[in-house]
């Protein structure tokens, strides 16, 4: 019964109608599955030094003459199986991307709610900062925050702090969009009767914001968040490629591409190309999913 | 008018002071500023002199004021790694980045406008679909991956184009240019395409949608009724009117191109400011980082200021409402 209603639902209907979306969802699910289950399903544990065999280094993909069946996509300079490193890398890329989006969402939504609901000086300050930040590209801000934080932190704790710093940097570079959207819809909701009623019966502003306004402004926020995940993954990959992201001991897709890039000229193209393809497929499918969600939730476009 | 310009100028100065504060905090609290200014092997007398010069024995705001004053004179001290003044390092690297950014902007315009016009005029031809597909790839592929793929194909496989550095450059005064030698120009091709591809897709899409819009207007229909040739209508009337927003976007994107050159420079080992900055992060070379931070902030503030003022000049509505 519930399944049937779910099947007949508007979203499900537009989902069935779009083969691209179905493929994108399937790919995204495969990625999430591979990332979550990487420690159990990957053919090799790329971080377990004992299982690495240096004599297997630079093995080309399995279909090449010199390929070995054990390494379907070949191995890198340390003899790590590329397929396994990609699965583990996707885990880090997705993890950092999701955490950064979550951080940006919480920060942006809170500031947007405050600005829209309180108005006045609070609003002026928050929105001015947002305007200024918006005039710089997000990736530059993330790079600057990340770079400054790396230099400011003590050197011996770089590796363990690298991922939290990265999450904060990418998240902080992305809060503006959420704040602007939420502020706009909060200003609309604020003047509606249910908010006035809540105010009349004497609920405190914070309670009104959280329990009445917030649920009604979250719709567009979720759409922004979906598309933002793809951007966050790209940003993470770019920073890692530049060598200021996650450390090489726990490589993400971007780190793998950077490591592989050094061997591009000597002909070992698979070390960098496969993580690259993996990154593109991941980003593209998340992006297509986000596009579909945006169109499906927007009644104007139907 | 004056009030508007003053407001915008005031805002720009405020942003620069904030950027400067971050740079100063970095300068002051990470490591020893006296070493930053003088290098490792300075005499004790010099140390005392610089400590006084930087007001390090004085309150915080005076130190900051001294830093701003030095920055305004282009003095950011000595690079820790190369033991040379940061200002000379930046001046050396500036031409490489600016030439790359200029060529990238040129490429994005030279390729993006014709592609946009074509896809608007022949909406359903197969070539249009191919071009739109390319632009989709340009948006969804990360910059560094495009660079790597171009290197893999054109440098490693085909061996046509160099994959790193600027090759031969000609020195004109303090400006070193790669535009005057054949190898320098060849070295510019792949990096400019990598850097400009995103902006190219942006321009292509913009021109396409603007063209489609303009082609629907009455004056185009009137021009057709007058029996003008397709060429005169498309290029004389329609294209001309789509170019205004294109110019604005290109201007705004110039800052983004300079910022994104960090990535392209890293991929192609292009000896520009971005590479300098990335290397500075790796070595915790704080004076270089502080200088780059201020410089890139200045670029963006100037570009935004100019665009704001241009809007004001072009759009009369802004002159009535106080903002």
Tens digits of residue pLDDT in B39-73: 666 777 777 777 776 666 677 777 777 777 777 77
Q: Give residue limits of the domains in chain B.
A: 32-73, 89-157+191-319
- Show residues of chain B in contact with A283, CB under 8 Å: 140, 142
Query: Which is nearest to B167 in space by CA: B147, B187, B194?
Result: B187
Structure tokens that stand for A158 in this block: 């770089």
Query: How does residue B320 score in pLDDT terms, banded at 50, 70 and 90?
Result: low
Structure tokens that stand for B35 in this block: 């070493």
* Nearest C-alpha in B relative to A150: B281
Half-sphere CA count of B293, side-chain side, radius 13 A: 31
Rounded-to-integer distance, Cα A56 and Cα A79, Å:
5
Q: Are strands B170-172 and B175-177 parallel, antiparallel or unpaired?
A: antiparallel
CB contact under 8 A, B142 and A237: yes
DSSP label at B164?
S
Helix (H, G, I), strand (E, B) or coil at A76: coil
Half-sphere CA count of A51, side-chain side, radius 13 A: 10
Structure tokens that stand for A178 in this block: 């959420």
Structure tokens that stand for A206 in this block: 């914070």
CB distance B97 to B258 below 8 Å: yes
User: What is the nearest CA distance from A223 to chain B, expressed in angstroms?
Assistant: 18
**Would you list which residues of chain B are within 8 Å, Cβ to Cβ, of chain A?**
11, 15, 18, 22, 26, 29-30, 140-145, 148-149, 151-152, 155-156, 163, 255-256, 259-260, 262-263, 266-267, 277-278, 281-282, 284, 286, 289, 293, 296, 300, 304
Rounded-to-integer distance, Cα A196 and Cα A190, Å:
7
Give the mean model confidence (pLDDT) for residues B14-40. 76
Structure tokens that stand for B102 in this block: 């200029």
pLDDT of residue A109: 92
- Show residues of chain A in contact with B152, CB under 8 Å: 264, 269, 273
Measured between CB atoms, which of A132, A234, A261 is closest to B148? A261
Structure tokens that stand for A186 in this block: 């909060």
Measured between CB atoms, which of B155, B256, B284 is closest to A151? B284
- Show residues of chain A in contact with B144, CB under 8 Å: 237-238, 241-242, 257
**Which residues are B85's β-sheet partners?**
B78
Q: Any residues with CB less than 8 A from the CB of B92 and at least 6 apart, and which?
A: B176
Rounded-to-integer distance, Cα A128 and Cα A123, Å:
8
Rounded-to-integer distance, Cα A178 and Cα A187, Å:
14
Rounded-to-integer distance, Cα B323 and Cα B319, Å:
9
Q: Is the ipTM of this complex over 0.85?
A: no
Helix (H, G, I), strand (E, B) or coil at B176: strand
Provide the mean pLDDT of chain B: 79
- Residues of chain A with pLDDT below 50 are 301-302
pLDDT of residue B323: 43
- Show residues of chain A in contact with B286, CB under 8 Å: 151
- Structural class in CATH, domain A13-42+82-301: mainly alpha
CB contact under 8 A, B144 and A273: no
pLDDT of residue A100: 93
Rounded-to-integer distance, Cα B183 and Cα B178, Å:
8
CB contact under 8 A, B148 and A136: no
Q: Any residues with CB less than 8 A from the CB of A55 and at least 6 apart, and which?
A: A79
The dihedral built from the CA positions of residue B190, B194, B195 and B196, taken in this order, carries a sign that is positive
The dihedral built from the CA positions of residue A129, A135, A137 and A143, taken in this order, carries a sign that is negative
Rounded-to-integer distance, Cα A42 and Cα A38, Å:
5
Structure tokens that stand for A56 in this block: 């297997």
Of the residues B30, B148, B158, the best mutation for testing chain A's interface (the one with the most A CB atoms within 10 Å of its CB) is B148
CB distance B68 to B18 below 8 Å: no
CB contact under 8 A, B152 and A150: no
Rounded-to-integer distance, Cα B32 and Cα B56, Å:
11
Measured between CB atoms, which of B256, B262, B300 is closest to A143? B262
CATH architecture label of B89-157+191-319: Orthogonal Bundle (1.10)
**Taking CA A24 as the corner, what is the angle to CA A23 and CA A30, rounded to the nearest 5 degrees?**
90
Measured between CB atoms, which of B15, B26, B144 is closest to A148? B26
Query: How does residue B79 score in pLDDT terms, banded at 50, 70 and 90?
Result: confident
């Amino acid at each position: 019964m519930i399944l049937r209603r779910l099947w007949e639902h508007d979203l499900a209907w537009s989902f069935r109608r779009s083969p691209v979306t179905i493929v994108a969802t399937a790919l995204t699910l495969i990625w999430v599955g591979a990332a979550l289950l990487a420690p159990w399903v990957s053919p090799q544990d790329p971080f377990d030094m004992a299982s690495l065999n240096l004599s297997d280094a630079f093995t080309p993909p399995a279909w090449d003459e010199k390929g070995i069946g054990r390494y379907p996509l070949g191995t890198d300079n340390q003899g790590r199986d590329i397929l396994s490193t990609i699965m583990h890398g996707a885990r880090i890329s997705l993890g950092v991307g999701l955490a950064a989006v979550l951080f940006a969402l919480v920060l942006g939504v809170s500031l947007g709610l405050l600005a829209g609901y309180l108005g006045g000086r609070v609003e002026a300050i928050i929105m001015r900062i947002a305007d200024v930040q918006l005039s710089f590209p997000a990736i530059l801000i993330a790079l600057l925050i990340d770079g400054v934080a790396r230099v400011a932190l003590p050197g011996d704790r770089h590796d363990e702090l690298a991922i939290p710093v990265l999450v904060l940097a990418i998240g902080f570079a992305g809060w503006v969009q959420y704040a602007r959207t939420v502020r706009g819809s909060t200003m609309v909701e604020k003047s509606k009767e249910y908010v006035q009623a809540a105010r009349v019966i004497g609920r405190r502003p914070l309670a009104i914001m959280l329990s009445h306004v917030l649920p009604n402004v979250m719709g567009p926020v979720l759409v922004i968040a979906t598309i933002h995940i793809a951007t966050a993954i790209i940003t993470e990959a770019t920073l890692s490629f530049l060598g200021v992201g996650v450390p090489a001991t726990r490589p993400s897709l971007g780190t793998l591409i950077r490591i592989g890039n050094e061997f591009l000229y000597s002909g070992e193209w698979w070390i960098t190309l496969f993580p690259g393809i993996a990154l593109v497929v991941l980003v593209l499918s998340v992006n297509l999913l986000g596009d579909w969600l945006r169109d499906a939730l927007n009644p104007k476009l139907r | 008018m004056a009030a508007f310009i003053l407001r915008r100028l005031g805002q720009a100065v405020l942003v620069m002071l904030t950027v400067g504060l971050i740079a100063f905090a970095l300068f002051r609290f990470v490591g020893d500023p006296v070493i930053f200014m003088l290098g490792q092997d300075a005499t004790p007398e010099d140390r005392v002199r610089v400590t006084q010069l930087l007001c390090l024995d004085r309150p915080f705001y005076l130190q900051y004021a001294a830093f701003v004053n030095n920055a305004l004179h282009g003095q950011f001290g000595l690079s820790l790694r190369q033991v040379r003044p940061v200002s000379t390092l930046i001046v050396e690297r500036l031409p490489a980045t600016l030439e790359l950014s200029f060529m990238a902007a040129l490429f994005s315009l030279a390729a993006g406008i014709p592609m946009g016009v074509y896809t608007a005029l022949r909406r359903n031809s197969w070539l249009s679909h191919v071009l739109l597909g390319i632009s989709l790839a340009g948006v969804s592929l990360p910059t560094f991956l495009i660079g790597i793929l171009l290197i893999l194909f054109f440098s490693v496989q085909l061996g046509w184009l160099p994959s790193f550095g600027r090759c031969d450059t000609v020195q004109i005064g303090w400006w070193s240019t790669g535009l005057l030698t054949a190898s320098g120009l060849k070295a510019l091709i792949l990096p400019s395409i990598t850097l400009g591809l995103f902006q190219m897709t942006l321009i292509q899409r913009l021109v396409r949608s603007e063209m489609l819009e303009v082609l629907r207007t009455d004056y185009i229909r009137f021009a057709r009724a007058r029996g003008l040739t397709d060429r005169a209508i498309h290029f004389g009337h329609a294209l001309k009117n789509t170019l205004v927003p294109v110019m604005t976007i290109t201007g705004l994107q110039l800052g983004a191109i300079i910022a994104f050159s960090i990535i392209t420079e890293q991929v192609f080992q292009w000896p520009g400011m971005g590479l300098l900055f990335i290397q500075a992060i790796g070595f915790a070379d704080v004076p270089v980082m502080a200088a780059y931070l201020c410089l890139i902030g200045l670029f963006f503030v100037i570009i935004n200021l100019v665009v704001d003022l241009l809007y004001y000049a072009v759009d009369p509505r802004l002159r009535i409402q106080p903002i």
